């Protein structure tokens, strides 16, 4: 059994004008496909074969660069496509909204903290919203394809929202204007999906 590139649940152009179709097509069909293929090659014949991606990352030998980079890349992009939607944007509601208020003071304070993590992640990486057992939320940034499931990386907890700030995620449309891309990302966040992940991870 090997990992498969998940199909997008929306068209490549469905997130326009926030994320352009060409970027989505290359990002999913080339970058994510590459991480998937390389992950499968890296775990073939090892004790990791057949394990869930979460189990692989949580128990990862961080010196295993092939699985760190490609397993991270596989997991991170699977989450990324799911937490965006053409019907996204707006504000979270219910228990997630309350947890954001409790953890950060307000939605606007969360938004500023998350946006700053995304804008200030030097070079390639990700910004995350994570939930700890008990429901406390945290924001952090991680380099490359690392994520907080990995031992000793970022804020720990379970990622429930993530933004890819590698240049391949935005450069065609935004060039060097990463802050504009981060701002636009909030127009497509699928808060229903983030809320489901919050319930599962808290
Ligand atoms: Mn990417």
* pTM assigned to the model: 0.97
Q: Is residue 49 part of a domain?
A: yes
* The pLDDT value given to residue 147: 98
* The pLDDT value given to residue 33: 98
Q: What is the pLDDT along the chain (202 residues), one digit of tens a residue?
A: 699 999 999 999 999 999 999 999 999 999 999 999 999 999 999 999 999 999 999 999 999 999 999 999 999 999 999 999 999 999 999 999 999 999 999 999 999 999 999 999 999 999 999 999 999 999 999 999 999 999 999 999 999 999 999 999 999 999 999 999 999 999 999 999 999 999 999 9
Contact between residue 129 and residue 137 where contact means Cβ atoms under 8 Å apart: yes
* The pLDDT value given to residue 196: 98
Question: What does the alpha-carbon distance between residue 200 and residue 52 come to, in Å, rounded to a whole number?
Answer: 16
Two tokens, residue 113: 């903290």
Q: Is residue 134 part of a domain?
A: yes
Domain range for 90 is 20-202
CATH of the domain at 46: 3.55.40.20
* The pLDDT value given to residue 1: 64
Question: What does the alpha-carbon distance between residue 34 and residue 52 come to, in Å, rounded to a whole number?
Answer: 19
Count the domains in the chain: 1
Q: How far is CA 171 from CA 70, 84, 178, 183, in A?
A: 21, 18, 8, 14
173: number of Cβ within 10 Å: 18
Q: Is residue 166 part of a domain?
A: yes
Q: Is residue 199 part of a domain?
A: yes
Say how many Å lie between the CA of residue 116 and the centre of ligand 1.
19
Say how many Å lie between the CA of residue 112 and the centre of ligand 1.
22
Say how many Å lie between the CA of residue 169 and the centre of ligand 1.
5
Smallest CA-to-CA distance from 28 within 6, 46, 58, 47 is with 6
Beta-bridge partners for 140: 128
Q: Is residue 13 part of a domain?
A: no
Q: Is residue 26 part of a domain?
A: yes
Q: Who's near 25: CB < 8 A, 6+ residues apart?
A: 12
Q: How far is CA 20 from CA 12, 17, 87, 177, in A?
A: 8, 6, 16, 14
Q: Is residue 2 part of a domain?
A: no
Say how many Å lie between the CA of residue 2 and the centre of ligand 1.
21
Who surrounds ion ligand 1 at CB < 5 A? 164, 166
Say how many Å lie between the CA of residue 138 and the centre of ligand 1.
22
Smallest CA-to-CA distance from 185 within 95, 81, 105 is with 81
Say how many Å lie between the CA of residue 126 and the centre of ligand 1.
9
């Amino acid at each position: 059994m090997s990992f498969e590139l998940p199909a997008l649940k929306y068209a490549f152009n469905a997130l326009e004008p926030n994320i352009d179709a060409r970027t989505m097509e290359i990002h999913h069909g080339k970058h994510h496909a590459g991480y998937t293929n390389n992950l499968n090659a890296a775990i073939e014949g090892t004790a990791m074969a057949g394990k869930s991606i979460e189990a692989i990352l949580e128990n990862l030998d961080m010196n295993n660069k092939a699985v760190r980079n490609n397993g991270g890349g596989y997991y991170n992009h699977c989450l990324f496509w799911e937490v965006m939607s053409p019907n996204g944007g707006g504000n979270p509601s219910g228990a997630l909204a309350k947890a954001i208020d409790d953890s950060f003071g307000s939605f606007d304070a969360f938004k500023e903290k998350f946006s700053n993590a995304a804008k200030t992640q030097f070079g390639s990486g990700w910004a995350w919203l994570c939930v700890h057992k008990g429901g406390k939320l945290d924001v952090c940034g991680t380099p490359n394809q690392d994520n907080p499931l990995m031992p000793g990386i970022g804020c720990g907890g379970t990622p429930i929202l993530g933004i890819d700030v590698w240049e391949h995620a935005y450069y065609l449309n935004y060039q060097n204007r990463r802050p504009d891309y981060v701002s636009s990302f909030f127009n497509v966040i699928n808060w229903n999906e983030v809320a489901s992940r919050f319930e599962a991870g808290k």
